[in-house]
């Protein structure tokens, strides 16, 4: 494991394992050391609060990762599920959104001022695309078809304030969901599948980073005689 120790000390593994923290954008923070003649400004206190929050979230993530063995095997369902559970624990400890919660938050905040149903659906499409989500079932097209039908029936653009019209639209959505086999009671399962697919993608990226780092180190003279370890045997807890 000497080889693994040396390359991991400078690899992206710890950073990659904390990928969930990338939702929070760190900003440059100057020193908060006390200065005798320096006044305290409100902006400084706000900046200090942001810095402290990011630091606490990072520490919470590290505390969890020190206890959990993460296996870099995206093809093993058990490894993927365990990694997803570790990331869930980190989010809970650091008080951060899951992907599903983040999407819900984006929808609530970005559509709040949208008055008409068509612009609302277009914004949902934009959010889906931005978050890298695919529409394998064709639900998006179904929603626009439903809107076209309702607007044709009421003979005008559908506004979100039109309760009767929106009820008609929801009824059309429910018909479409039934055809697609989508049920409200299955939403927790859909959310879990989303988190598992994200976990698998992150594990795959971590594995690629580890292999790239090992290949790079192996080209150096000092490591040419060392055997490259199986990436699945690496344990980041040894290097945090």
One domain, residues 71 and 127: no
Q: Is the pLDDT of residue 183 over 50?
A: yes
One domain, residues 70 and 173: no
One domain, residues 85 and 146: no
Specify if 41 maps to a domain: no
One domain, residues 142 and 198: yes
Specify if 23 maps to a domain: no
Specify if 172 maps to a domain: yes
Write out the two tokens for 205. 């990226």
Cβ atoms within 10 Å, residue 168: 19
Q: For residue 136, give its domain range.
A: 97-210
- In the chain, the number of structural domains is 2
One domain, residues 102 and 192: yes
Mean pLDDT, range 201-209, rounded to an integer: 90
One domain, residues 119 and 197: yes
Specify if 165 maps to a domain: yes
Q: What percent of the chain has pLDDT over 70?
A: 81
Buried b (16+ CB within 10 A) or exposed e, 101-126: eebeebeeeeeeeeebbeebbeebee
One domain, residues 74 and 126: no
Of the ranges 56-65, 100-109, 207-216, which one carries the lowest mean pLDDT score?
Answer: 56-65
Specify if 127 maps to a domain: yes
Dist CA 106 CA 100 (whole Å): 10
One domain, residues 102 and 86: no
Specify if 124 maps to a domain: yes
Whole-model pTM over 0.75: no
One domain, residues 66 and 155: no
Higher-scoring residue by pLDDT: 109, 6: 109
Mean predicted lDDT score pLDDT of the chain: 80
Question: Residue by residue, what is the 3-state secondary structure of the chain?
Answer: CHHHHHHHCCCCHHHHHCHHHHHCCCCCCCCCCCCCCCCCCHHHHHHHHHHHHHHHHHHHHHHHHCCCCCCCCCCCHHHHHHHHHHHHHHHHHHCCCCHHHHHHHHHHHHCCCCCEHHHHHHHHHHHHHHCCCCCCCCHHHHHHHHHHHHHHHHCCCCECCCHHHHHHHHHHHHHHHHHHCCCHHHHHHHHHHHHHHHHHHHHHHHHHHHHHHHHHHHCCHHHCCCCCCCHHHCCHHHHC
Dist CA 91 CA 49 (whole Å): 19
pLDDT in tens, 48-101: 877 888 888 888 888 888 888 889 999 999 999 999 999 888 888 888 888 888
Specify if 12 maps to a domain: no
Specify if 7 maps to a domain: no
């Amino acid at each position: 494991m000497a080889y693994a120790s040396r390359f991991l000390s400078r690899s992206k593994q710890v950073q990659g394992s904390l990928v969930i923290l990338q939702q929070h954008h760190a900003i440059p923070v100057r020193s908060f050391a006390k200065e005798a003649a320096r006044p305290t400004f409100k902006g400084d206190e706000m900046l200090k609060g942001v810095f402290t929050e990011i630091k606490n979230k990072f520490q919470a993530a590290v505390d969890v990762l020190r206890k959990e063995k993460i296996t870099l095997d995206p093809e093993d369902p058990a490894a993927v599920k365990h990694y997803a559970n570790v990331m869930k624990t980190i989010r809970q400890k650091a008080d951060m959104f899951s992907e599903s919660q983040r999407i819900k938050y984006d929808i609530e905040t970005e559509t709040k001022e949208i008055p008409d149903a068509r612009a609302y659906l277009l914004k949902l499409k934009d959010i889906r695309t931005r978050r890298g989500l695919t529409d394998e079932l064709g639900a998006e097209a179904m929603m626009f078809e439903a809107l076209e039908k309702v607007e044709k029936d009421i003979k005008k653009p559908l506004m979100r304030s039109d309760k009767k019209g929106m009820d008609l639209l929801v009824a059309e959505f429910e018909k479409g969901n039934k055809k697609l086999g989508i049920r409200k009671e299955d939403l927790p399962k859909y959310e879990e599948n989303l988190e598992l697919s994200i976990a698998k993608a992150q594990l795959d990226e971590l594995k690629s980073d580890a292999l790239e780092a090992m290949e790079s180190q192996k080209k150096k003279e000092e490591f040419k005689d060392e055997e490259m370890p199986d990436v699945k045997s690496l344990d980041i807890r040894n290097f945090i």
